[in-house]
Chains A and B, each alone.
Chain A
Amino acid sequence: MFVQETHSREPPYVLQQVTTAVSNPALLDSSDLAERIRARDSEALRVVVETYLPQILRAARGGGLKPHEAEDVAQNTFATFVESAERFEGRSHVRTWIFGILYRKISETRRKLGKDRQVDDIDEVFESRFDENGTWSQPPRTADAALEAKQTRQEIADCLEAAPSKQRMAFVLREVEGLSSEEICKILEVSSTNLGVMLFRLRNRVRECLEAKWAA
């Protein structure tokens, strides 16, 4: 029988998917992490960067940045993280803190690029699909292909492009990173009611956008 070897002697390496071999993950939960970051302790910095860099890059891409923009934003996120370590007191998890910084950098970048749309008419669009009794007057159209098809991935990326940064980030943190709603609320500094509204709008906006493409 094949027994999986522990790879404690190998250098840290990155797997294709979501996991990273991190040498000392327990450090992330230790009570003196903030202090060690402030002191620029090299092991603490290495564990934080090894653990979160892949997630930061993926979330930046999910948040609508191009690869080189994602790279810049990731660099700046860690720089700000260390500079602001004075204010990080370990009250929230280090991941929440880092993702909060990332979110602010992404929305700043998208605003500069003029990509952050402010007008949002999805509530009216949603309402218009029902009659006065709340029954579908325009029922959802059948998808003409399975949603996982490669072509559809591109369509989803296009449809996400039109969404406001905050909604988009909420959706990516929920669906791709699988974070709890409590943590997402802390990262985006919104109430849980607000998070529900944002996800409602994002999902309906993208669904409507895809449906329009199926009809074309």
Chain B
Amino acid sequence: MLSCKDTAHTVSTEDVTPVSWRQRLAVRLHLMMCRHCRRYAEQIEALGEATRATFRHPPEDPSSPEAPENLAQLQSDILERLSQPSAQDDPESS
């Protein structure tokens, strides 16, 4: 049977590392039988969800650059800056 250590390792990397079906099955079986690993897996999952909730939610601070008015302003500032070629990145001028 797969050890707890191997299970925890797989659980925390399986979304970016290819896992064979055999390994996947071994992990699922282990999780069914081991409450500690189940708890670990739930915490790894919840960590992702909580991080998504934290950063997908724009800051409530109205001075944040992500606030809609500031975003529109920043967008036009950036576009203005980009539309004016500076001397140093224009090879024709040197």
Chain A residues close to B by CB (< 8 Å): 13-14, 16-18, 40, 42, 45-46, 49-50, 53-54, 57-58, 61-62, 67-68, 70-71, 74-75, 78-79, 82-83, 126-127, 130, 133-136, 139-140, 142-143, 146-148, 152-153, 156-157, 160, 171-172, 174-176, 181, 184, 192-193, 195-197, 199-200, 203-204, 206-207, 210
A–B pairs, 5, beta carbons within 8 Å: A140-B36, A143-B43, A148-B49, A148-B50, A199-B13
Report the tally of A-B residue pairs with Cβ distances under 8 A.
154
Which partner residue on chain A sits nearest B74 by CB separation?
A71
Q: Does A130 contact B5, Cβ atoms closer than 8 Å?
A: yes
Which partner residue on chain B sits nearest A67 by CB separation?
B64
Q: A49-B82, A79-B81 are in contact. Are A196 and B51 (CB under 8 A)?
A: no
Chain B residues close to A by CB (< 8 Å): 3-6, 8-9, 12-13, 15-18, 36-37, 39-40, 43-44, 46-56, 58-59, 61, 63-66, 68, 71-72, 74-75, 77-79, 81-83, 85, 89
User: Do most interface residues of chain A lie in helix, strand or loop, or is the interface mixed?
Assistant: helix
Q: Does A134 contact B50, Cβ atoms closer than 8 Å?
A: no
Q: A78-B78, A175-B51 are in contact. Are A143 and B46 (CB under 8 A)?
A: yes
Which partner residue on chain A sits nearest B85 by CB separation?
A40
The smallest C-beta distance from B44 to any residue of chain A, in angstroms, reads: 6
The smallest C-beta distance from A106 to any residue of chain B, in angstroms, reads: 14
The smallest C-beta distance from A27 to any residue of chain B, in angstroms, reads: 15
| Residue among B13, B36, B74 facing the most chain A CB atoms (10 A cut-off) | B13
